Structure 1
């Protein structure tokens, strides 16, 4: 274990107390909701993970079993979550959000993202990345101290925002490999993606345009971008891709959530994206995020005949 200077420990403790106060955790209700922090965290975790057992919530939240049981019962009675039989263990029930709970979570997410986004907006891009990575490592270390095991975040993924060296080339490379395998696209497609991304990266000075990347030990392994200069006040979702090494970790959902929240904050009239028929995993992510298939037609602008699809999510 690395030794830490006493003054650094005191600085982090002071900063932690300040964050707890400023984020509202000292209040009886959190994130402009009617629920205490533990209930809000439960809704957020269920939204992120899809479903959990009460036992998993006990470990995840670090609360007593009796406290979790009372909280879960209140959320069920309030119509926010529901329980159903656990196919893997008949002795326990699985919890998930109801339609009402999904709506409540949406309101919590909008509030929380605005709160954090406004604060981060006061920092430079370098400071924002330092905050993101520092909090991730610190939180993971606290979890390890409580539960045991080894820190994981140093080997895990981080999400960064804005241009960074290599992002244009990596976006083109990931698209080229993925679509060569799944749609037999070749050089025309890769060249078009590279040109489009270079053009979009040149317009990031406009605050209505943005790009996010997933990093794995500093290497770009995923991306998504919003082109906020579409027609009729619309935004265009672009370059949504994950390297195979980054799949299966919920990163696609996280990237899409970041982009959608950005669009909601900027109040675009709609968000539009183009894709191809047959990419069922991506389509489910789009539909879960509120996108609806508007049109589909055959096209070969990518160098091969495919069924192109246009999905649209109306603005909030």
Structure 2
């Protein structure tokens, strides 16, 4: 490979990205950098301004002007950081999440239109080529892993639903000693979704890092009217501590609110301390507790609930 090979690919890729945004409507009414800021803020409940600047490699003054603009427009709110009072915490408002969601929807539609031009038989080869470029030019080229910025939340691909069943069964057996009854429960939940679900009201997210799944969560309709249920939150052990669980839960909350649900509920067990901390951070409250014998263990089941405020409330 020569320098000219890299430059030729760069010209091609730059031209392709420009063609995707023909007419410059993809990021409107924001600039590309402003859109990147909105995207990063949408991935986690909140970020310190310093963390945001580091992730995006932005000049402090430039980022400050963007955040001032966003705050004036009601897209963000700022306050003291819980971990360091000297820092400023930044998080999206409901209006900000709506703006970020619109940008994400446009990007999905645009890239989807591009993929429609690729023959199905060529898509695995294209994905593998992209992973190869990231693997070779990422860390070895001086790049940094940015934790939650590295993970992508996406819809499930063929085989991912089976992965959800397999990884839930294996992880809970290893970490908590649960037997095959739990695998049967997960398999039924996943099968029910695969066979009959409304994509406007129910959804699955896969967290992908370095081209492989490292987490998942589901949002499905509950029996109670106006209520959605969060199910099967999982993050692989090596991917924990990067905020992926928070991002998955936030994705469910935003989706449920956008779908018009009034409440979001979930059932878990008290031994799942890491997951419970995530739920608490996002405003879920414990409603009831009940001991039960399941999956070969004596457990304390817990029901948690989150009221989904609408913008008018």
**Secondary structure in structure 2 of the residue aligned to 1:165:** coil
Contact 2:154/2:208 (CA < 8 Å) preserved in 1? yes
- The structure 1 residue matched to 2:14, chosen from 9, 19, 30, is 9
> Which residue of 2 is the match for residue 105 of structure 1?
93
> Which residue of 2 is the match for residue 44 of structure 1?
41
236-245 vs 297-306, which moves further: 297-306
Contact 1:226/1:235 (CA < 8 Å) preserved in 2? yes
Instruction: Give the count of matched residue pairs.
Output: 283
> Which residue of 1 is the match for residue 173 of structure 2?
180
Would you say 1:25 and 2:22 are equivalent positions? no
Q: Answer 1 or 2: higher relative contact order, Cα 8 Å, separation at least 6.
A: 2
Q: TM-score, normalised by structure 1?
A: 0.70
Aligned mates of 2:27, 2:38 — CA distance in 1: 17
Write the deviation string for residues 203-258 of structure 1: whole angstroms up to 9, x where unpaired.
Answer: 23553221111234443321111112532121111111111122222211111122
Change in 2 beyond 3 A, CA 1:276/1:20: same
- Compute the RMSD of aligned alpha carbons: 4.3
Change in 2 beyond 3 A, CA 1:186/1:70: same
Contact 2:200/2:259 (CA < 8 Å) preserved in 1? no
77-86 vs 272-281, which moves further: 77-86
* Structure 2 residues not aligned, in runs of 5+: 117-122
Would you say 1:81 and 2:78 are equivalent positions? yes
Pairwise CA distance, 1:74: 9.2
* Structure 1 residues not aligned, in runs of 5+: 31-35
Output aligned runs, 1:170-249, within 5 Å: 170-204=163-197, 206-249=199-242
248-257 vs 225-234, which moves further: 225-234
Change in 2 beyond 3 A, CA 1:234/1:186: same
Contact 1:203/1:209 (CA < 8 Å) preserved in 2? no
Aligned mates of 2:29, 2:107 — CA distance in 1: 14
Contact 1:159/1:214 (CA < 8 Å) preserved in 2? yes
**Secondary structure in structure 1 of the residue aligned to 2:287:** strand
Contact 1:161/1:213 (CA < 8 Å) preserved in 2? yes
**Secondary structure in structure 1 of the residue aligned to 2:302:** strand
Q: TM-score, normalised by structure 2?
A: 0.71
Change in 2 beyond 3 A, CA 1:118/1:216: closer
Contact 1:39/1:71 (CA < 8 Å) preserved in 2? no
